[in-house]
Every structure is written in structure tokens, then in C-alpha cells.
Amino acid sequence: GSLDHKMDHLVCFMGGSLALGAYTNPDGLDSPKAQRDLKLAKAVTYTCYQMYARQPTGIAPEYVRFVKGRDMETGSNARFYILRPETVESLFILYQLTGDPVYREWGWEIFQAIEKHCRTEIAYGSLPDVGRTTVKPEDRMESFFLAETMKYLYLLQDPDTPIDILNTHVFNTEAHPLKKLELVKQRLN
């Protein structure tokens, strides 16, 4: 097989997953494997942020390609954005774990771009072409946008959130924070 130098927006959850793995590594965060995973988590998330930052709208396409001798390029049939949450999920997790304000800043930039280019009179809509600042959003909003994308963006900016992803909470696949089972059992007893 051949290597396809393509990165889908869907892969952008991986930064958060790698960071969680680093912080919960049985050998500790200072172990070589945990440090490798944390470095990779930050690099993947930075690339995901760049998928947004390099577009005229500040909105990421569905995927990008990496072409030798050139920079990141939007896939020819991937100029759309359907309000995906994966990048902001990783920003939230990395901010929670590292406390680095850059993740909040990137999240704020993404939120502002969504507000500017995806907001409609009554809701939000998918963007058919992230490369054009004059295009209007479509009359279509995926259910995960409010359940995940907006929730992660809100939690990322909330300085008083009680959510602690290492000690007290886990998130299900739809970004619903749940208390860890052992904490629920303690409370019931």
C-alpha cells in the first residue's frame, strides 16, 4: 500500500486522547513514553488548529492534504465544514490538563469564526466552502454541534467549571460529563 498524506478533521480528537494517555500513564507523566505522547498530542492539536487558522474564514475543512514541497492544502472535495467538535474537544482536554492559555485562545478564535460564518438568524449552519468569506451557511445543523462543539467551547472558556477530567469526571461520546462511578457509589453510601 501507499501512504496517503491526508488528515481528516475527525482525527483531531486524537490530540486529547494522547494527552489523557500521557497524564494517566502507569509509569507517570515524566516517563519517556508519556512525554512522547504529550508532545505528539500537542503537535496533532496544533495541526488541527492550523486547519482552522489557515482558512480565510477561520473555519476548518473536512480534511487537508500534505503535499511534498508545499504546505497544508484543503482537499479538493473537502471544502465544507459541518460544525465538527473534534478539534475543540482536544483544545478543552489539553487546557484542562496543562493549563496552557493558548488552547483557550485558539478555542476563542474558532468560536468567533463559527459565530461570524456559521450563525444563522435562528441557529447555526454548515458551511459549504471554508475558503470563501462571502458564502452563507446551509440550512443544516448536525445534532453534535450543540451537544459537543458548543459544549466544549463553553467549558473551555468557563474559569469556574467544576469538571476535572483526571479526578472526578469522564465524558461519553456525546460530550456529556459524568461523575466517575466510584464517586457516585461513595455518594450513595
Looking at the annotation, which residues are catalytic? 62
The closest alpha carbon to 97, from 175, 22, 189, belongs to: 22
Rounded Cα–Cα distance for residues 61 and 64 (Å): 7
Look at the alpha carbons of 172, 10, 113, 164 in this order and tell me if their dihedral is positive or negative.
Answer: positive
Give the residue carrying C-alpha cell 482536554.
Answer: 93
Rounded Cα–Cα distance for residues 37 and 97 (Å): 13
Contact 30, 105 (CB under 8 A): no
Rounded Cα–Cα distance for residues 156 and 120 (Å): 23
Rounded Cα–Cα distance for residues 141 and 164 (Å): 29
